[in-house]
Amino acid sequence: MCGIIGCIGVKNAPEVIYEGLKRLEYRGYDSAGCAFLSHGKITVVKREGRVEKLLPLLKGLKADMGIGHTRWATHGLPSDENAHPHSAGGISIVHNGIIENYLPLKEDLILKGVKFLSDTDSEVVAHLIAQNYDGDLLKALFKTVKLLKGSYALMAICEDEERIVVAKNKSPVILGLGDGQYFCASDEPALAGLADKISVLEDGDFAELTAHGVKIFDESLQPVSREVSPNLAVCQSLGLDGCPHYMLKELREVPMSIEATHKAFNSIEAKLSKALKDVTRIIITGCGTAYHASLIGKRYFECFARIPVECETAGELRYKNPVMDANTAVFAVSQSGETADTVEVARLALSMGARVIAVTNSRLSQLTRLATVVVPVASGPEICVCATKSYTGQITALYLSAIVLAGESLDGDRAKELLKIPPVCRSTLESLDMRSLAHVCASSTGVYFMGRDIDYAVALEGSLKLKEITYIPGEGYPSAELKHGTLALIDVNVASIFIITDPALAGKSENAVEQVLSRGGKVAVITTVKEVKERLSNKLQVILLPECDKYLSPLVTAVAIQTLAYKTAVVLKRDPDKPRNLAKSVTVE
Ligand code: M6R
């Protein structure tokens, strides 16, 4: 959730840490802070709010090493005091994760006379390292983490030593290897342009960074080596490409995301087909948007391969003692590949002998490293907290996986239909005018998204998008269920948006439209069926999208619901890239 970064051997550590934190800000933006070591003295600067608030505080600071943190609050309100780094006895630390047993540890420290300055779980770590310090920071960190329960990526510096020490359990840490310059960070993009090579730490690992190099140690503090690979993030653009927000930029990349995911799939088709051999049970799981993509995947698997599929949010599934065995394939869908619940389901599945298929946009994530096979979502970096192009990438990856499971050819009709979709999305992005509907949503007290079958899955995502970035309450609902309760909520202040893509079900959805209209509710329809427009456009706003294959329609309707959410956020002057209370990567429970 939080983002952390460290550097040593650099010319201007404040600048490097600041730029790195800007890149990590999608992981949390409640507060930001850094600590620099220069001439045996640590200087800490930290502030509640966005990373940019640090800029004036960094002016004039000079150091060649430092650590930084951008926070998504878990324990303690967003405030200057709760901002990291936390310090004790000439030691400063930054932490990503949750120390689950921090309360008894804190009580113990208070009994020993320690004064706490924050409400965070992380501050206990600074005090424990200070208590365990005996002239060797790495050993003090080692002793400290033995006392911790929970998840942590920890970086620490000390006034008496010119090194950064690191510990990792469940939260990610990537080491960056440059020329006489060394880095550690929560993800690869934070090191773009800084390090050509990277190494990924494993759970239980420790690391030491000095101006002369990097050493990695295992859970017993024995030297260990980890694979070194090129840092691909250096080649990827993280700019806004002239867009006012990352959300708009990434929405415009939806067609690219579908094409690139399709292309990348060819390289894993054979591996996937082998991994799915003799599978009798399929489970698809994920959280938030990834779960909504999973629901669409379930339809593909069942329709194309006629295998029953269970689909459940990862946070639910992991605690249900799910039935999994050697003939089960678990598709774990996650943009980041770091979502704690999804990763834990994958671990559980492996421990029960099942095969894990990671559907992920992150080549270095925990999920990627755990999985039996990775189906790549090739959307490129997604900076906006709200998922757009990764959703369409996930749907594409699941569509192709279902074709493989069904034993169909990747040159067959279904794959040919997929090739038609990116140009359709491109033209939709160019011609779609959502301004008037965005104003309707912005002035509503609630917005319901409704659909049937596959459109219902998209309705869930439409509702999540709008809630996430506009804070307007609402729900995604099956059209047919409306009259069984939700209709009671309809009045003139509430908007209902129907998604209709299946001509065979259109008439049924239109009944629900009429039911809302006759209760005075505001209604709009997003459809790929031109007859629906002909029938309804004299009484309500109908957004007509290009006709397309029924199964692939979510890729086109996604563009519409994402654009609607974006435009509504703009009308309401919300920041779509950094919605309140959220973070992109949910690495805690
Ligand atoms: O990285 P993941 O795909 O595992 O993330 C899962 C959810 O946290 C994520 O999709 C979330 O719902 C998005 N912010 C929605 O836009």
Structure confidence by residue, pLDDT tens digits, 79-114:
999 999 999 999 999 999 999 999 999 999 999 999
| Best CA proximity match to 7, nearest among 210, 238, 215 | 210
Is 184 an annotated catalytic residue?
no
Residue 546 above 60 pLDDT? yes
**Which residues face 502 on adjacent strands?**
none
- List the catalytic residue out of 2, 287, 425, 548: 2
Q: How high is the pLDDT of residue 90?
A: 97
- List the catalytic residue out of 22, 465, 578, 584: 584
Q: How high is the pLDDT of residue 239?
A: 79
Residue 235 above 60 pLDDT? no
Neighbours of 134 (CB within 10 A): 9
Q: Please work out whether the CB of residue 340 comes within 6 Å of at least one atom of ligand 1.
A: no
| Best CA proximity match to 25, nearest among 189, 157, 181 | 189
**Which of 285, 335, 575 maximizes ligand 1 atoms within 8 Å of its Cβ, making it the mutation to test the pocket?**
335
Average pLDDT of the chain is 95
What's the pLDDT tens digit per position in 253-271?
Answer: 999 999 999 999 999 999 9
What's the pLDDT tens digit per position in 571-584?
Answer: 999 999 999 988 88
Q: Please work out whether the CB of residue 468 comes within 6 Å of at least one atom of ligand 1.
A: yes
Spatial CB neighbours of 486, under 8 Å, sequence gap ≥ 6: 448, 475, 477
Structure-token pair, residue 58: 């960094």
What's the pLDDT tens digit per position in 159-179?
Answer: 999 999 999 999 999 999 988
- Ligand 1 atom index nearest CA of 286: 4
Residue 143 above 90 pLDDT? yes
**Which of 26, 187, 295, 336 maximizes ligand 1 atoms within 8 Å of its Cβ, making it the mutation to test the pocket?**
336
Q: What's the pLDDT band for 158 if we cut at 50, 70, 90?
A: very high
Q: How high is the pLDDT of residue 398?
A: 98
Q: How high is the pLDDT of residue 237?
A: 59
Q: How high is the pLDDT of residue 73?
A: 85
> What percent of the chain stands above pLDDT 90?
91
CA atoms within 13 A on the CB side of 320: 15
What's the pLDDT tens digit per position in 487-534?
Answer: 899 999 999 999 999 999 999 999 999 999 999 999 999 999 999 999
Place of tokens 């605690």: 319
> What percent of the chain stands above pLDDT 70?
99
Q: How high is the pLDDT of residue 523?
A: 97
Q: Please work out whether the CB of residue 334 comes within 6 Å of at least one atom of ligand 1.
A: yes
- How confident is the model over 432-451, as a mean pLDDT? 97
Residue 385 above 70 pLDDT? yes
- Three-state secondary-structure class, residue 313: strand
Do residues 238 and 383 lie in contact, with contact meaning Cβ atoms separated by under 8 Å? yes
Q: How high is the pLDDT of residue 427?
A: 97
Q: Please work out whether the CB of residue 118 comes within 6 Å of at least one atom of ligand 1.
A: no
Do residues 540 and 513 lie in contact, with contact meaning Cβ atoms separated by under 8 Å? yes
Residue 153 above 90 pLDDT? yes
Q: Please work out whether the CB of residue 287 comes within 6 Å of at least one atom of ligand 1.
A: yes
Q: Please work out whether the CB of residue 290 comes within 6 Å of at least one atom of ligand 1.
A: yes
DSSP string, 315-338: HHHTTS-----TTEEEEEEESSS-
**Which residues face 447 on adjacent strands?**
474, 495
Separation between Cα atoms, residue 378 and residue 368, nearest integer Å: 13
Separation between Cα atoms, residue 497 and residue 524, nearest integer Å: 5
Do residues 4 and 155 lie in contact, with contact meaning Cβ atoms separated by under 8 Å? yes
Q: How high is the pLDDT of residue 236?
A: 56
Helices H / strands E in the chain, number of each: 19, 24
Q: Residue 378 Cα, ligand 1 centroid: separation in angstroms?
A: 16
In which element (H, E) is residue 4 found? strand 3-8
Is 2 an annotated catalytic residue?
yes
